[in-house]
Every structure is written in structure tokens, then in C-alpha cells.
Amino acid sequence: MTVVSINQQQAEQQIQTILLFMAKCIEQQNWQKLREADCQLMKLLADIKQATWFTSFAPKLTELKLQYKKNIHAISSQQSELAKKMTRHLDEREGIVAYKQLIEGNS
């Protein structure tokens, strides 16, 4: 069993710091750093669950989960936007290729 050496306030600060970093990674589309931060957050939460004060931390954890869900939503939004851009790119590419073939065929 791991002994947790941080208190509730330190845990909350560390979680907030990680969540803010994750939001920045999403904004910058730095998916590798985002994954690393997510792993760090999961490890911290696993450690916190071992703390004697964990039950009194549960209400605060609910607030932090909401921030995490906002990050997940931001990721989903960026994925949707990327999918739209890729579809548009493929459509435009097909049109360019068809136009090129038409022009070259008429030369």
C-alpha cells in the first residue's frame, strides 16, 4: 500500500495544475503531452484514493471531474473540426484532379 504524503490542498493544486496543462495541450494540439498529463493525473488520483482524507475530498473531486469533462469535450470538438477539414480537403483534391485531367485532356 502506498503512503500518500500530500494533503488535500496540495492534491487539489496538483490536479488543477495538470488540468490547466491539459487544456493548454488541447489548445496547442500537443497530443503527446496531453497523453502524458492524462497518465500523470490518473496516477495522482490513484494515489489520492489511498489517502485517509479521500472521503472528505469527494465533493471537490466532483468539481474537478467537470473540468476534466470540459477537456474531453474540447478534444471531441477539435476531432470533429479536423474530420471536417479532412473531408473538405479530399473533396477539393478530387475536384482539382478532375479539373487537371480536363485541362490536360483538352491540350
Tens digit of each residue's pLDDT (9 = 90 or more) over 31-68: 999 999 999 999 999 999 898 898 888 888 888 889 89
In a domain, 90, yes or no: yes
> Is there a domain that residue 17 lies in?
yes
Residue with cell 483538352: 106
> What is the tally of structural domains in the chain?
1
Q: 22 in a domain, yes or no?
A: yes
Cell (9 digits) for 65: 471531474
Residue 24: give the domain boundaries. Answer: 8-106
Cβ count near 61 (within 10 Å): 16
Element containing residue 92 per DSSP (H, E): helix 54-106
Tell me whether residue 1 is in a domain. no
Average pLDDT, the chain: 86
CB of 64 closer than 8 Å to CB of 42: no
> What does the alpha-carbon distance between residue 91 and residue 51 come to, in Å, rounded to a whole number?
55
- pTM over the 0.75 mark: no
If pLDDT is split at 50, 70 and 90, which confidence band does 22 have? very high
